[in-house]
């Protein structure tokens, strides 16, 4: 008995020594990093710079982990990640905006399942990113830590409110404090503006701006004013192209009517460059009253303000004709981050991501160091402006943050709720920052995010991928066609899509939708 006890004691001591040795052993964790080719000599490289070294000092060293950053060209990151995964040479942490690719790796057994690891090593991930966990989950298993998109607003309508003042029109303000306008008033104002040269340009006015780029989908916030949200079922929202949604046709008809009445630039459909040169010129030169766009679009607005300081653009809610606001918003997701099955220390990978999820650490990457790069003024992080002489005299504290956004990973945007600091900005820059903040907030009202299919592509989707044109791509043609041909052309777009395989795609998505919903209910 004593011999057995002595043997067990010796074994326990041996295991203890092995455990201590393992704990003291320094391990290497490889982390993917985008190579954008935009670094400077003073910054260093994308994989060796002040901030990668800061991570080594503040995360790696205390945890016995040597960090090694692996460069991946941003331009072809999906192809590169696929190649590395196929060859078993992927870094221990990979990421991509291609959710289908990342979740496909998980379904095929190429990733570590992270549920238990996050439970043990990810308190900050659990506290701050739980909203996105369902997007990284398949069949009840967490395969990806999905970054939290902090601003989900996507589209809104904008108007020249200085023109409205000249026309004697005052926008109403709703209970949320947002300016809004009915479709009838909006239409009347467009027609009034057509006959007025309020900026004295001497040129023809096209009161409603429409862009040909992105197949005219920037006009969605105007079309959405006609969508019947009450009749739009969850299944239809998830599985059908938006041109099938109840009321959508009338929204496109509305734009078609305005086009044929001369309210829209007759050549908008050729403005396909994504810098929108024709649209931007109309806005900047004072020939446009209103437009739909990304809620934070400001480029041409800034040019307008520089050309005409008296001009003022404001985001405006176009009231839904059925009463219930409806807009498309982004899912609350950003980068899909995963740990390949080849990673020998997945707990270290989760610890790394958890470190980034800590607000205090994330703030360092977003703002720098308090007292050096920023100070808190009225609860807002405010940049400490420095002269060139001050920077030259203190080079150690002039930390550029060129690729830090790629390092943060777990947050798409700042999750702290701080408004944008306007301290030190000139009047135009201040107005632009305030416009962007308000646009994001307004664009979330009535927001509906796309359904999450867990990265699954049905067989029909795969079969017709690259061969089937989505009906929404026909928007420029439908907006600009003769009014008496609109119904026939709209119906033909839908019928042609269904006949070319669209019906099979819809049916397969409906079947998958119900499978996923039934699984949630179990």
- For 87-128, how does the pLDDT look when each residue is reduced to its tens digit (9 = 90+)? 999 999 999 999 989 999 999 999 999 999 999 999 999 999
- Residues whose CB falls within 8 Å of the CB of residue 356, separated by 6 or more in sequence, listed in order: 362, 407, 408, 409, 410, 411
pLDDT bracket for residue 9 (50, 70, 90): very low
* CA–CA separation, 155 and 71 (whole Å): 34
The boundaries of the domain holding residue 171 are 155-326
Give burial (CB, 10 Å; 0-12/13-18/19+) of 489. middle
Tell me, yes or no, whether 177 and 321 share the same domain: yes
Which pLDDT does position 20 carry in this prediction?
A: 35
**pLDDT of 520 over the 50 cut:** yes
Tell me, yes or no, whether 55 and 112 share the same domain: yes
Supply 32's token pair: 């993917």
Last residue of a domain, one of 418, 449, 471: 418
**pLDDT of 39 over the 70 cut:** yes
Inside any domain, residue 429: no
Inside any domain, residue 444: no
Tell me, yes or no, whether 241 and 260 share the same domain: yes
Supply 500's token pair: 């070319």
Whether 324 contacts 301, CB under 8 Å = no
pLDDT bracket for residue 521 (50, 70, 90): confident
As beta bridge partners, residue 94 has 338
- For 473-487, how does the pLDDT look when each residue is reduced to its tens digit (9 = 90+)? 999 999 999 999 999
Inside any domain, residue 362: yes
Which residue is associated with the tokens 């696929």?
82
How many domains are there within the chain?
A: 2
Tell me, yes or no, whether 193 and 258 share the same domain: yes
Tell me, yes or no, whether 142 and 161 share the same domain: no
Inside any domain, residue 218: yes
Question: Phi then psi for 151, rounded to 5 degrees?
Answer: -125, 115
Tell me, yes or no, whether 36 and 145 share the same domain: yes
**pLDDT of 149 over the 60 cut:** yes
Alpha-helical segments (H) within 196-247:
220-223, 234-239
Q: Please provide the average confidence, as pLDDT, over all residues in the chain.
A: 90
Which pLDDT does position 296 carry in this prediction?
A: 87
Q: Lowest-confidence range among 201-210, 421-430, 483-492?
A: 421-430
Which pLDDT does position 398 carry in this prediction?
A: 67
- For 176-225, how does the pLDDT look when each residue is reduced to its tens digit (9 = 90+)? 899 999 999 999 999 999 999 999 999 999 999 999 999 999 999 999 99
* Coil/strand/helix, residue 459: helix
* Coil/strand/helix, residue 481: coil
For the chain, the farthest-separated pair of C-alpha atoms sits apart, in whole angstroms, at 106
Q: Which residue has the higher pLDDT, 9 or 410?
A: 410
* CA–CA separation, 143 and 133 (whole Å): 9
Tell me, yes or no, whether 87 and 174 share the same domain: no
Percent of the chain whose pLDDT exceeds 70: 95
**pLDDT of 15 over the 90 cut:** no
Whether the model clears a pTM of 0.85, i.e. scores above it, the answer is no
Inside any domain, residue 497: no
Q: What is the CA radius of gyration of the chain?
A: 27
**pLDDT of 59 over the 80 cut:** yes
Whether 514 contacts 522, CB under 8 Å = no
**CB-CB neighbours of 244 under 10 Å:** 17
- For 219-274, how does the pLDDT look when each residue is reduced to its tens digit (9 = 90+)? 999 999 999 999 999 999 999 999 999 999 999 999 999 999 999 999 999 999 88
**pLDDT of 294 over the 50 cut:** yes
Last residue of a domain, one of 297, 326, 355: 326
Tell me, yes or no, whether 174 and 317 share the same domain: yes
Which pLDDT does position 21 carry in this prediction?
A: 42
- For 361-415, how does the pLDDT look when each residue is reduced to its tens digit (9 = 90+)? 999 999 889 988 889 988 888 888 777 787 777 767 667 777 787 888 999 988 8
CA angle in degrees (0–180, nearest 5) for 297-301-304: 165
Which pLDDT does position 44 carry in this prediction?
A: 87
Last residue of a domain, one of 326, 355, 379: 326
Q: Which residue has the higher pLDDT, 399 or 434?
A: 434
Q: Taking residues 49-73, what's their average pLDDT?
A: 95
What is the DSSP-derived secondary structure letter of residue 451?
P
Inside any domain, residue 92: yes
Which pLDDT does position 8 carry in this prediction?
A: 33
Q: Lowest-confidence range among 71-80, 182-191, 225-234, 420-429?
A: 420-429
* Coil/strand/helix, residue 35: strand
Tell me, yes or no, whether 227 and 312 share the same domain: yes
DSSP for 132-174 reads GGGGGEETTEE--EEEEES----EEEEEEHHHHHHTT---EE-
Instruction: Annotate 167-193 with b (16+ C-beta within 10 A) or e (fewer).
Output: eeeebeeeeeebbbbebeebbebbebb
Tell me, yes or no, whether 340 and 313 share the same domain: no
Inside any domain, residue 271: yes
**CB-CB neighbours of 18 under 10 Å:** 10
Which pLDDT does position 307 carry in this prediction?
A: 94
Give burial (CB, 10 Å; 0-12/13-18/19+) of 269. buried
* Coil/strand/helix, residue 66: strand
**pLDDT of 3 over the 70 cut:** no
pLDDT bracket for residue 6 (50, 70, 90): very low
Percent of the chain whose pLDDT exceeds 90: 74
* CA–CA separation, 393 and 396 (whole Å): 9
- For 320-356, how does the pLDDT look when each residue is reduced to its tens digit (9 = 90+)? 999 999 999 999 999 999 999 999 999 999 999 999 9
Which residue is associated with the tokens 């017709």?
464
As beta bridge partners, residue 337 has 95, 145
Domain CATH number, residue 186: 3.40.190.10
Question: Phi then psi for 33, rounded to 5 degrees?
Answer: -145, 130
DSSP for 244-305 reads GSTTHHHHHHHHHHHHHTT-S-TTGGG--STT-HHHHHHHHTT--SEEEEETT--HHHHHHH
* CA–CA separation, 378 and 358 (whole Å): 23
**pLDDT of 10 over the 50 cut:** no
Nearest to 217 by CA among 293, 308, 143: 293
Tell me, yes or no, whether 180 and 314 share the same domain: yes
Whether 69 contacts 46, CB under 8 Å = yes
Inside any domain, residue 506: no
Tell me, yes or no, whether 171 and 318 share the same domain: yes
């Amino acid at each position: 008995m004593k011999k057995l006890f002595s043997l067990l004691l010796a074994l326990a001591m041996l295991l203890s020594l092995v455990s201590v040795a393992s704990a003291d052993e320094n391990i290497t964790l490889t982390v993917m990093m985008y190579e954008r080719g935009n670094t400077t000599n003073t910054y260093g490289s994308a994989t060796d710079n002040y901030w990668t070294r800061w991570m080594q000092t503040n995360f790696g060293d205390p945890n016995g982990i040597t960090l090694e950053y692996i460069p991946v060209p941003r331009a072809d990151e999906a192809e590169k990640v696929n190649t590395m995964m196929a060859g078993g040479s992927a870094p221990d942490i990979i990421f991509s905006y291609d959710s289908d690719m990342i979740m496909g790796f998980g379904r095929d057994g190429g990733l570590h399942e992270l549920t238990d690891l996050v439970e043990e090593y990810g308190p900050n991930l659990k506290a701050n990113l739980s909203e996105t966990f369902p997007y990284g989950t398949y069949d009840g298993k967490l395969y990806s830590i999905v970054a939290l998109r902090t601003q989900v607003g996507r589209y809104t309508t904008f108007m020249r409110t200085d023109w409205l003042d000249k026309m004697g029109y005052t926008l109403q303000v709703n209970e949320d404090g947002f300016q809004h306008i009915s479709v009838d008033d909006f239409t009347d104002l467009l027609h009034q503006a057509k006959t007025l040269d309020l900026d004295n340009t001497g040129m023809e006015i096209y009161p409603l701006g429409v862009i040909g780029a992105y197949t005219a989908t920037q006009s969605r916030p105007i079309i959405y004013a006609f969508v019947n949200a009450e009749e739009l079922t969850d299944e239809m929202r998830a599985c059908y192209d938006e041109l099938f949604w109840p009321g959508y046709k009338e929204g496109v008809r509305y734009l078609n009517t305005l086009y044929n009445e001369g309210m829209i630039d007759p050549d908008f459909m050729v403005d396909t460059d994504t810098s929108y040169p024709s649209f931007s010129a109309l806005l900047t030169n004072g020939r446009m009253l209103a437009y739909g766009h990304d809620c934070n679009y400001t480029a041409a607005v800034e040019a307008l303000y520089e050309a005409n300081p008296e001009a003022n653009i404001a985001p405006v809610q176009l009231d839904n004709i059925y009463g219930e606001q409806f807009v498309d918003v982004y899912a609350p997701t950003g980068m899909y981050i995963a740990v390949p099955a080849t990673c020998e220390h997945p707990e270290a990978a989760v610890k790394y991501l958890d470190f980034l999820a800590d607000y205090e650490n994330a703030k360092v990457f977003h703002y720098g160091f308090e007292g050096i790069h920023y100070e808190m003024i009225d609860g807002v992080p405010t940049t400490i402006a420095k002269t060139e002489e001050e920077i030259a005299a203190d080079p150690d504290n002039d930390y550029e943050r060129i690729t830090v956004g790629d390092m943060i990973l777990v947050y798409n945007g700042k999750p702290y709720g701080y408004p944008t600091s306007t301290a030190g900005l000139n009047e135009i820059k201040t107005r632009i920052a305030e416009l962007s903040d308000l646009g994001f907030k307004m664009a979330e009202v009535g927001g509906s995010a796309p359904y999450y299919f867990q990265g699954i592509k049905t067989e029909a989707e795969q079969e017709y991928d690259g061969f089937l044109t989505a009906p929404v791509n026909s928007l420029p043609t439908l907006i600009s066609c003769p009014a008496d041909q609109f119904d026939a052309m709209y119906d033909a777009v839908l019928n042609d899509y269904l006949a070319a395989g669209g019906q099979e795609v819809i049916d397969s998505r409906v079947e998958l939708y119900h499978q996923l919903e039934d699984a949630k209910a179990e």
